[in-house]
Chain A
Amino acid sequence: MEGFDNFWAVYSNLVLSIGINALLAISIWFTLSCGLLAMANAAFMGIGAYTAALLTMKAGASFTVALLGGIGAPLAVALIIGMPTLRLSGVYLAMATLGFGEVVRILILNAERWTGGALGLNGIPQLTQWWHVLASLVAVLLVLWRLRRSRVGRAFEAIKEDDVAAALMGIGVMSHKLLAFALGAGIAGLAGALNAHLTFFIGPAEYGFERGIDILTMAVLGGTGGLAGPVVGALVITLLPEFLRSFRNYRLMINGVILVLIVLFLPKGIWDPSRVRQWLKRSRRGMPDNTAGVR
């Protein structure tokens, strides 16, 4: 048990970061699974983080209320900005949502009285426990797992494949897109709220373009085919730099090389059930084929 205590003392933050990153990756995976390339998740994370932190620090609210606020605020914002922007598709949607992210960042910078501007919010109470992160992750995964097998989930799939055909089948394309966008925002906000109450400090620079790319990388690297993809992606992206710590100066270089190799050889992401099945089949069939060649 002592061994575990020691492990937890050293790596608790890392383990919880994996959970939070997994939530973030799921949040963008969710919009991707509806065929939307929306890049506003970092901004939604920021809205969630600031809302939750302000609720506990300034309003003295309980952590539960703060978490709900952290989910609710980005969800509401997503509903409002989703209506006009979701009419766009492809890269145009990505551009519009990136622009929105920049607006949020600059808003946080200038709403100094509330957010502390560039200096950020300090001394946020550390309320996030391991089970908060675990419960959030499990709950989100369960809900999404059920959703995927429901009418709504099938509708998302249909919209992703072809939104014109989906509309002709009688699916409300716009409302489903809006739902995916808003739920994704809520999940990102939850991740932000948990992160803010884990690291004592939040600042506007954390929720910029770079974070957005990180989130997208986790989802795409993990694979967009199934729910396990973003979780695997978050695991790899968070742990890889830690495992490579002993390489010192070459750490980031090796990190980058590994990521490039993964993308080259597993273009559909690490979690790609069809490819794994294909490999299994080939190795099973491989044996007799080889012997045939020898003969």
Chain B
Amino acid sequence: MTKQSLFRMTLAILLAALCAAGTVAAADLKIGAAEALSGPAGQYGQSIRNGFQLAADEINAAGGVKGNKVVLQVEDEQGKKEEAIDVFKKLIFQDKVLMLFGPTLSNSAQAADPIAQSAKVVVFGTSNTAEGITSIGDHVFRNSVTEADVLPVTLSVAAKNAKIKKVAVLYGNDDVFTKSGYDAFKKALDDLKIGVTTTETFAKGDVDFKAQLTKIKASNPDAIVLSALIAEGAPIMVQARQLGINLPFIGGNGMNSVKIFDLAKDKSDNLWVGSPWALSSQSKENQRFVASYKQKYQADPDQFAAQAYDAMHIAAQAIGKIKLSGNLEADRKALRDAMATVSWTGATGAFKFRRAMGADGKPAGYDAQQTAIVSVTRGGKYEIKR
């Protein structure tokens, strides 16, 4: 058995080496991406891959980066931390990519980004919104806007438009997204001096929320702040309306999905969400992105695709600024320094990087500096509000 597996392992390595040798020409810019193409986070990963591919095709069609073709290598990390580490190692040490995108989930990023950091390779997250990802080190970048940046904007716009003085809070306490969303909401509510009448929780997979909603109704708030994923968030909205609670809902990132219109149908009105990107945003960059995405994939893009699309363009800008020496280590270092200085206007609007602080108080990686777009649902559509 051991002999056979050893043989197979060598065979696999030989094969991989052959494949690698076949695709690399002198002027190819090899960019790796580790995304969750399968598993529970698969739908996000696939959107992200589409976004990357679309941008890479555009860049190559326009003659590449200073004549060099972008070669995108996307590997599946299944949304698991061990897989993410394996894929990062493979892309960095075996495929020798110039830089990395991914991974899809924040948890995987916590596990895999230190690998890239210690190998001194730029790792660029397009969907990691949890706190502390960029404090891992100075090679960690992201263009995903964190909830800590989005939610204060969502709250203040909603409070101004709907005259909200006090809110009830409802969140899922067993999920990374919804829990970190709640933490960000709590901080934003404190900062904006909006009172909280009651705080209720639920768990993933719950289907009946009437107990929490009845309590919330009794506490008489002006609005309900909801940090939930769409699977629980949609039934929460439906059940609230059934109980006669016609208050506005203010949702976190998890509620920002067009699926709400399918799931909550006529009960989907009056949900306020903030996002760095909106399908209906009228900027010419976004219009072009949406049109070409629809043409290529026969579907509407989502936020994940938009951020991946922009990330690829941002990376191309950075690569365009450096002089490739052919020495991989030197090129990776030059790319890191160039990346921090990029500013770009893409589908998600004007963008630049902002230095984040590490756990030790020293400057570490780079977060996104971007303004959120706040919209409210009306009759099965998003309306952008200011």
CB distance from B176 to the nearest CB of A (A): 5
A110 with B173: in contact, given A6-B94, A118-B179, A119-B179 (CB under 8 Å)?
A: yes
Chain B residues within 8 Å of chain A by Cβ, number: 39
Q: Is the interface of A mostly helix, strand, loop or mixed?
A: helix
A243 touches B132 (CB 8 A): no
Cα of A17 to Cα of B94 in the assembled complex, Å: 19
Closest B-chain residue to A11, C-beta based?
A: B89
- Which residues of B have CB within 8 Å of A100? none
Closest A-chain residue to B74, C-beta based?
A: A248
- Which residues of B have CB within 8 Å of A118? 173-176, 178-179
A-B interface contact total, Cβ < 8 Å: 86
Closest B-chain residue to A195, C-beta based?
A: B82
A248 touches B359 (CB 8 A): no
B179 touches A201 (CB 8 A): no
Stretch at the interface among B106-114, B284-292, B311-319: B106-114
Cα of A232 to Cα of B8 in the assembled complex, Å: 15
B173 touches A117 (CB 8 A): yes
- In chain B between 87 and 114, which residues have their CB closer than 8 angstroms to a CB of chain A? 89-90, 92-94, 107, 110-111, 114
A199 with B173: in contact, given A10-B94, A239-B5 (CB under 8 Å)?
A: no
Name B's A-contacting residues (CB within 8 A): 1, 5, 8-9, 12-13, 15-16, 19, 37-38, 75-76, 81-83, 85-86, 89-90, 92-94, 107, 110-111, 114, 130-132, 136, 173-176, 178-180, 359
Tell whether A7 is near chain B: CB-to-CB under 8 Å. yes
A109 touches B180 (CB 8 A): no
A251 touches B12 (CB 8 A): no
B176 touches A242 (CB 8 A): no
Cα of A123 to Cα of B8 in the assembled complex, Å: 35
- Which residues of B have CB within 8 Å of A270? 1
A235 touches B93 (CB 8 A): no
- Which residues of A have CB within 8 Å of B89? 9-13
Name A's B-contacting residues (CB within 8 A): 6-7, 9-14, 17, 106, 109-110, 117-120, 122-123, 126, 199-201, 203-206, 232, 235, 239, 241-243, 245-246, 248-249, 251-252, 270
- Which residues of B have CB within 8 Å of A239? 5, 9
Closest A-chain residue to B107, C-beta based?
A: A203
Cα of A118 to Cα of B81 in the assembled complex, Å: 15
B86 touches A14 (CB 8 A): yes
A7 touches B76 (CB 8 A): no
Cα of A217 to Cα of B372 in the assembled complex, Å: 46
A200 with B179: in contact, given A10-B94, A249-B37 (CB under 8 Å)?
A: no
- Which residues of B have CB within 8 Å of A110? 173
Cβ-defined partner of B8 (8 Å) among A7, A11, A199, A243: A243
A199 with B82: in contact, given A11-B89, A249-B37, A252-B38 (CB under 8 Å)?
A: yes
